[in-house]
Amino acid sequence: MKTAIIGANGQLGSDLAKHFQRKYEVVELTHEQIEIANIDSVSTVLKTIQPDVVLNTAAYHNVPKCEDEPMKSFQVNGLGALNLAKVSNDLNFKLIHFSTDYVFDGAKESPYLEYDPPNPLNVYAATKLAGEHFVHNYAARFFIVRVSGIYGRVPCRAKGGNFVTTMIKLAKEKPLVRVVDDEILTPTPTDMIAQNTYELTRTEDFGVYHMTCQGRCSWYQFAKVIFDTLKLTTPLESCSVKDFPTPVKRPHYSVLENHNLRKINLDHMADWKEGLKHFLNGLS
């Protein structure tokens, strides 16, 4: 089986490559090698590779920049997904398209199921939802995988790191670290997403899936476990999102429930604290 991973040098893509290389022949593709917003690039590159499976982790995911550059956001997150969906039918490969918890507005205040109606609050989320619709309506063999609060060993290019490494860095550099306590999510390491994605792609159970660790926490609670586990002594203080004004609207609650994974007995995601422990052990 041949697998092409788009965005293979990214936070999620690098862990997908590591897991899929154990069983599949993997072709790692970066932005320099494929431009998903250009259907000629998508068609030419993938026709040359002739993959059985394509995993798309490419996204324009700097949320504030998406507000300033909505067309660029739509080109990558929306049209890029459409191009991959069309070519997937031409070449008959399985398409795995990664999406986000941000497609929901947080008003439900209980874990979101795959069939709950989305209501994106910002440009990034709206363009990711557009990409979902394109994949759902154009691709015959697809998995849409929504994730939440991801962090991995390879830094996120849009942010220069991840929440865990940022907390460690701030604890070393700042006299006090303040983290919001009124945004609720489920932090999930990319390594665990990669393993569960590998298992999912071996099936023909196409559709939309949520894939996060179990449980929920605020960003502050997440930070506190990081500080306690690593015995960081810098004072940690909770605060509100109102203390960091921003024009970008974000859901205050974006916990996902892995309902569809459980239906096919493939919900092998650990509790978020176990996921963090696993990640931190890998750093040492």
Catalytic residues: 124
The pLDDT, as a whole number, for residue 284 is 58
d(CA 170, CA 185): 21
| Torsional class of 24: left (φ above 0), alpha (ψ -120 to 50), beta (otherwise) | beta
The pLDDT, as a whole number, for residue 200 is 96
The pair of three-digit structure tokens given for residue 204, joined into one six-digit string: 């023909």
The pair of three-digit structure tokens given for residue 162, joined into one six-digit string: 């991840």
The answer for residues whose C-beta is within 8 angstroms of residue 100's C-beta and 6 or more apart is 61, 124, 125, 128, 146, 147, 148
CB-based contact 54:3 (threshold 8 Å) = yes
Q: What is the pTM of this model?
A: 0.94
Alpha helices in the chain (DSSP H): 11-20, 39-49, 63-68, 70-74, 80-91, 123-138, 163-173, 190-201, 219-230, 259-263, 272-283
Burial of 55 per CB tally in 10 Å (0-12, 13-18, 19+): buried
Q: Where are the domains of the chain?
A: 2-154+188-216+255-270
d(CA 171, CA 176): 7
**pLDDT, averaged in runs of 10, over the chain (284 residues):** 94 94 94 95 97 96 94 97 97 98 95 97 97 97 97 71 91 95 96 96 97 97 96 95 88 97 97 95 72
The pLDDT, as a whole number, for residue 243 is 85
CB-based contact 46:52 (threshold 8 Å) = no
Q: Does the domain formed by 2-154+188-216+255-270 have CATH 3.40.50.720?
A: yes
Q: Which residue has the tokens 């090698």?
A: 33
Please report, for residues 20, 198, 266, the alpha-carbon distance to residue 14 in angstroms, rounded to integers and kept in the order given.
10, 13, 22
Q: What is the CA radius of gyration of the chain?
A: 18
